[in-house]
Amino acid sequence: MWCRATIGLAPRVLKRGSMKVLVTGGAGFIGSHIVERLVREGHQVVAYDNLASGKRENLAHVGEIKGAGELELVVADVRDAPQLDYYASGCDVIFHEAAVVSVPYSVEHPQETHDVNIQGTLNVLHSAKRRSVKRVVFACSAAVYGEDPEMPKRETMRAAPMSPYGIEKITGEYYMSVWTQLYGVETVSLRYFNVFGERQDPASPYSGVISIFVDRVLKGSGVTIFGDGLQYRDFVYVGNVVDANIRAATTPGIGGRAYNVGCGQKTTLLDLLSTIERIAGSKVERTMAPPRAGDIRESIADIGRISDELGYRPTVGVEEGLRRLIEYVKGSR
């Protein structure tokens, strides 16, 4: 896969194991999976993370990978432009995963999420230009689509964010494409749908719903369902998202493009909970609560563009991803 994926970059980064890569948010949930993959492939990786939600433990196992590349963890913030600029120097690619990722948190703390999610992204782009980084892959979100009832969501649809988080993500994406047009920095935005998998932290009320439901079902404690539970999402296992990132970093001729990253499969919250209960072999009590402010009700991706242009396939489906996650959580208790 790596060989196929690397064909697009300039000759000096064609060789396996020759890239220098910066992953912002590299100790976080998705970032740590990208870091792991890159290190396995023998690359030189800097994981840049302020550890606000990322954790050193997320990268602990990476050092033990045999015959791997190098990893350095830098504890710093994307709002710290000089630091970021220093570590961007000499990089071939930046994966920009650092963000405050919660919709309700952004509703409650819009100034803080603006600073991290917009100013932080601008800092990344500024350094990418200054340091002649070849490509920036940006973690965008399905939250940019908002409440337009047309489904599935296609990249050509008008953005209509419903939360500060959605505004911040579409702003970041606009910055990405403009940096390609104005300054020739090759950027690619990936509109993640609902990503789940190992190392997603269930500890906070702002955590992703799958991490919370799996945690509660395995503990035998109750869950809260905001709304009627019939809202649906396109849940996508993190391994597929890593694959999309590698393809986005290495496919030629896609500067300035944006792609949905999902499975193209809809799952309601009630179905999700039943599936988790079935796989885990236990049931939990449900408390119904009003819908959360800023939540979109329905979301499902059309993955035609990313399939056609990047050769992406969601090879691990939702149920298989849930099985892997549940095994992992059981094993780490």
* Contact residues for ligand UD1, defined by CB under 6 A: 101-103, 141-143, 192-194, 206-209, 212, 224-227, 231, 233, 269, 292, 295, 299
Q: How far is the CB of 166 from ligand UD1 (least distance, A)?
A: 8
Q: How far is the CB of 226 from ligand UD1 (least distance, A)?
A: 4
Nearer to ligand UD1 by Cβ, of 26 and 208: the residue is 208
- 3-state SS assignment for residue 321: helix
Catalytic residue among 165, 175, 237, 312: 165
Nearer to ligand UD1 by Cβ, of 3 and 289: the residue is 289
Three-state SS for 211-265 is HHHHHHHHHCCCEEEECCCCCEECEEEHHHHHHHHHHHHHCCCCCCEEEEECCCC
Structure tokens at 162: 């419903």
CA angle 75, 200, 110 (to 5 degrees): 70
Nearer to ligand UD1 by Cβ, of 177 and 231: the residue is 231
Annotated active-site residue 192? The verdict is: no
Q: How far is the CB of 131 from ligand UD1 (least distance, A)?
A: 27
Q: Residue 69 in contact with residue 44, Cβ under 8 Å? A: yes
Nearer to ligand UD1 by Cβ, of 2 and 206: the residue is 206
Three-state SS for 107-146 is HHCHHHHHHHHHHHHHHHHHHHHHCCCCEEEEEEEHHHCC
Instruction: Identify the burial level of 267 via C-beta atoms within 10 angstroms of its C-beta, where 0-12 means exposed, 13-18 middle and 19 or more buried.
Output: buried
Q: Residue 157 in contact with residue 123, Cβ under 8 Å? A: no
- 3-state SS assignment for residue 317: coil
DSSP designation for 14 = T
Q: How far is the CB of 302 from ligand UD1 (least distance, A)?
A: 14
Helix axes of 120-130 and 81-88: crossing angle, nearest 10 degrees: 40
Nearer to ligand UD1 by Cβ, of 38 and 296: the residue is 296
Q: How far is the CB of 41 from ligand UD1 (least distance, A)?
A: 26
Give catalytic residue positions: 165
